[in-house]
Amino acid sequence: MGYGWSEAGQRVRLSPAQLAKWVKSRNSWVASAYEGGDLVGYAIAIIGPLPSGPRAAWVTQLVVHTEHRHHGIAKELLSSIWGFSDFGAWGIVSSNPYAIRALESVTRRQCDPLAIQRRSDELMTFGRQHIHYLAGAEPKLNGSSSVINTHFHLLQPKLGEKLQRASAKRPWRLGAIGAGEEWFAFTFREQPQVSISVTELEVLLRRSEETLQAAYARMALDDQHGWMKHTETEAGFLISALRLQPDHAVLDFGCGVGRHLVALASKGLSGVGVDQIDRFNHEAQLETAGRLQFILGDCRSVKLDRKFNAGICLYDVVGSFVREDDNLSLLPNFRAHLEHGAPVVVSALNLPLTESLKPRVQDPFLNPDALLELPAGNVMQRTGNIFDPEFMLLDRIRGVIYRKEQFDGDGVLPAEFIVRDRRYSAEQLSELMSAAGFQELSCRYVAAGDWKNARPSTDPKAKEVLYVGVAR
């Protein structure tokens, strides 16, 4: 595994036939990185069930072009392969100590030769089913070493220097490798994870905010997705609640793929939708029939240089920003784009229902490890049921929900994100809207597709708080 020089001093070259062997198994998976249309790096992995049941992710090859090393490409590829927190085992066979440290960093566990030795029979059974270079190879394992002879001879003149750097902060536990050998490195879910400090948590959450758009962009928003099923019914409610006339123009802040505006346009109305996710904007543009315009922009700061007769801001746009300052800038900007007296419909996620479902309750800033223990799911991508208590951690002090959301099978690198949202009671949403310059007509708990009827705050179907009002 890896890249380097042959013993003759030449770069290792792999033929198409050789590469085909690496990906022959149906469990093979390839992650690739491109720049300007050129392939600059790739990783090959086997991802599949171990004999004992849980899935394993075993990296079998990692290559990054010389000119593109030290740009974080290898880390991104490896993180994608190992990033799912519910795998049973993560591993790599490599002569590069930095790759071993990357494994430990991503999985927050240390490679333990004794733990590897205990699972070696299962790992080799799994590996030999899919990896051709393991034929005849046997790992050499003891309490202070974990290596395997793959007969992949590399001349690495700086291996000692790399190993010394990799060992600077914590001891190296996998021993030394000889000619043709590589380290046989694995971590396992049952191993204790390295605790997260508050500083690390803050970095992790900043990164999660940076990837939030990527998470939303990867939702499978087809007709079967929970967020898409009631568009026509909801559009009918909007026409009535907003007192819409054919000559009215509707502003939709956080429009997503524009489903409500498209439904309104089919009834003769016009409007403008704003969203900061490029994929949503593109798909919305494909649906437009000439009456609609979709703008790529941040609802907190976008300036449209016009005012609208009515406005909508629906589902989790208010609350998708966990800092209240962000929501307090979004709503006044929404108001600034509306005529005086313009009717509005705004919704947010239901906090009382969330609390009643008895999710895990913890302040991550007092116990950061609570996030390590939170199970991951793919509800955001597949179903939209983001009220499943199994996958929620509630920070009650801040009214913020944490989830680990996995995205896979959509032609993009697999990824697991920490996604946060802020939820509200009817009273809290009313206060926000009043502070932003709106006068309330009603504010109630409702079910998707049934916005006419108020429900108890803890009704399992009442996942939204719906505000109807006018711009003062």
The answer to the question of residue 5 being in a domain is: no
Residues 241 and 312 in one domain: yes
Sign (positive/negative) of CA torsion 74, 76, 79, 84?
negative
CA 461 distance to own-chain centroid: 26
Could you identify the residue written with the tokens 């536990």?
Answer: 173
Structure tokens at 295: 């703008």
What is the pairing mode between strands 292-296 and 270-275?
A: parallel
342 with 398, same domain: the answer is no
State residue 9's pLDDT score.
44
- Please report the pLDDT score of residue 216 as a whole number: 67
Buried b / exposed e along 383-392 (16+ C-beta atoms within 10 A): bbebbeeebb
- DSSP label at 71? S
Q: What is the pLDDT of residue 2?
A: 40
Residues 101, 25 share a domain: yes
Q: Is 169 within a domain?
A: yes
pLDDT reported for residue 219: 61
Q: 247-280: buried (b, 16+ CB within 10 Å) or exposed (e) per residue?
A: ebbbbbbbbbbbbbbbbbbeeebbbbbbbbbebb
Domains of the chain: total: 3
Q: Are 451 and 237 in contact (CB under 8 A)?
A: yes
Q: What is the pLDDT of residue 16?
A: 63
Measured CA to CA, the distance from residue 54 to residue 50 in angstroms comes to 6
The answer as to whether 461 is a domain residue is: yes
How distant, in Å, are the alpha carbons of 74, 120, 280 from that of 148? 22, 11, 48
Q: Is 9 inside any structural domain?
A: no
Same domain, 157 and 68: yes
Helices 426-435 and 324-336, packing angle to 10 deg: 50
Query: Do both 55 and 143 map to the same domain?
Result: yes
| Residue 346 domain flag | yes
Q: Give me the pLDDT at residue 5, please.
A: 37
Phi/psi region, residue 411 (left: phi>0; alpha: psi -120 to 50; beta: rest), is left
The answer to whether 103 and 78 have CB atoms below 8 angstroms apart is yes
Q: Is residue 383 part of a domain?
A: yes
Say if CB 404 and CB 375 are below 8 A apart. yes
According to the model, what pLDDT value does residue 8 have?
43
Q: Measure the CA–CA gap between 216 and 227, rounded to whole angstroms.
A: 12
Interacting residues of 306 by C-beta distance below 8 A, sequence separation 6+: 337
pLDDT of residue 419: 86
Give me the pLDDT at residue 71, please: 79
**325 and 358 together in one domain:** no
**Domain enclosing residue 153, as ranges:** 16-194
How far apart CA 373 and CA 193 sit, in angstroms, is 10
SS3 (DSSP) at 100: helix
pLDDT tens for the chain, 472 residues: list them. Answer: 443 334 444 455 555 666 666 666 678 888 888 888 888 988 989 999 999 999 999 998 888 888 887 777 888 888 889 989 999 999 999 988 989 999 999 999 999 999 999 999 999 999 998 888 888 889 999 999 999 998 876 656 678 888 888 888 889 999 999 888 999 999 999 999 999 999 988 888 887 777 666 666 666 555 554 556 788 999 999 999 999 998 899 999 999 888 899 899 888 899 999 998 776 565 556 555 578 899 999 999 999 999 999 999 998 899 988 888 888 899 999 999 999 999 999 999 999 999 999 999 999 999 999 999 999 988 877 777 889 999 999 999 888 999 998 887 766 667 788 888 999 999 999 999 999 999 999 999 999 999 999 999 999 999 999 999 999 9
Question: If you search the block for the tokens 């380097």, which residue do you land on?
Answer: 4
